[in-house]
Amino acid sequence: MSSNRKCCVSNCKSRDLQDFSFHYIPVDTNLALQWKEAIAPFSDVEDLSEYSTICSSHFKHEDFIVSSKKRTLRAGAIPSRFLNSNTEFTESTEFPGSCIFNNVFDCATQTLRTSAQIESLEYTNRCLKQKLKQLQLRYDKLKETVEREKQEKSLCKEWEQLKQIKNDAKNLNPKAILILDQIQNYNKKKPKWSETTIRYCIAWRFCSPRGYEFPRNDFLKLPCKTTLRKYFGSENKHLIKERLTSEIKNLNISERVCSLIVDDMAVKESIRYSKAEDRIFGLETLPKVNTITKKPVIANQLLCFIIHGISTKYVTPASYYFHKKLSSTELHKLALEVLKLLAECQFMVVRIVEETFWKWLPSNLHSTSFQCWFKTFFQF
């Protein structure tokens, strides 16, 4: 380094300082032109030549290749640090020619940049945490909505099944009627049973008392034996009359007009002895059957008398009889007894419904007893 060298940049005092180097304008035409364009605004030299020099303070730290012995300017480096300049190259007010000051400046700049990056990352982290919290809340709400929709879907399936059971019950499906009675009477202390359930329960208990009582304990809710006895016409007429009288209190005069339905269903022939009741099940329950035949008869049919409302929809069992080979005369007598019982209870029977009922009756009864009965009844 010679002391007679001088930096071509105005007001640069690098010649009076140490630890700096001087560099001639490059011989390469294009690179020399770039150097001159960068130096010209800050130099008093009118004509910059290849002999003009510029000190190392006007180059960035990364423009040099620093080794243990010397510092060499990189090929293609262009001066970019100038004092009192408004261009993008005046990034510092460092004193010209100070290599140590340049290093400190670069470290400070790097630190500031790192601090800014840290603040930016912290801000981004806070934003991401807030967004994550919002997404978590949204996820929880969507999860609750999905669970609610699953429950509603399950309830819809159950409701559709219940609706199907109700429709089948309206079509007189015995299974659907029994299931519907189980649901409606689940928590009732005084259950009310449909006519179909009563009919099948009577036949069930008639065939097997123990088989009927077993599921009543913990499995199914079924009519008790006392309830079923109220429907037998030959054994408990006072109970039947008491039951019909209590039911008619809730009906007005027009609602008491009804039809009498006569139905007959088959049951399996069997005999069961109930030690608790000291009674034999499976025999006929017709009035005075033992005095006529003098022998017990095993029943295989269940005769049902049911009243059906005309103006109001209701179905109520009137009486049941177990029999075997019931004659037309016996059927005629049973029908008259049931009609008289209903008349005493103030039910107004205007028709008898059964396809085969009139075929059972003697031909001389078609126009005598029942016609007289209905003629007398309408004068009631």
Residue 169 in contact with residue 177, Cβ under 8 Å? yes
Per-residue pLDDT tens, the chain, 380 aa: give them. Answer: 445 678 888 888 776 455 678 888 888 888 888 888 888 888 877 788 888 888 888 888 888 888 777 788 888 888 988 865 443 344 433 444 445 555 555 666 677 677 777 888 888 888 898 899 899 999 999 988 888 888 887 778 788 888 888 888 888 888 888 888 888 888 888 888 887 888 888 878 777 778 888 888 788 888 887 788 777 766 667 778 888 888 888 888 888 899 888 888 887 787 777 776 677 777 887 776 444 445 778 888 888 888 888 888 888 888 888 888 888 888 888 888 889 889 888 899 888 887 554 444 444 444 444 444 444 443 33
Closest among 182, 235, 229 to 202, alpha carbons compared:
229
Nearest-angstrom CA–CA distance, 182 and 188: 10
Closest among 25, 21, 78 to 51, alpha carbons compared:
25
HSE (side-chain half, CA atoms, 13 Å) at 171:
9
- Identify the pLDDT of residue 373: 45
Tokens coding 225: 């034996």
Identity of the residue numbered 147: E
Nearest-angstrom CA–CA distance, 314 and 324: 30
Residue 272 phi, psi dihedral angles, 5° rounding: -130, 140
Q: How far is CA 64 from CA 23, 48, 340, in A?
A: 12, 23, 129
As a dihedral over the C-alpha atoms of residue 136, residue 137, residue 141, residue 142, rounded to 10 degrees, the angle is: -30
Domain ranges of the chain: 14-97, 230-377
Q: Within 10 A of 205 (CB to CB), how many other CB atoms are there?
A: 23
Which residues have C-beta within 8 Å of that of residue 317, sequence separation ≥ 6?
A: 195, 198, 199, 231, 304, 305, 306
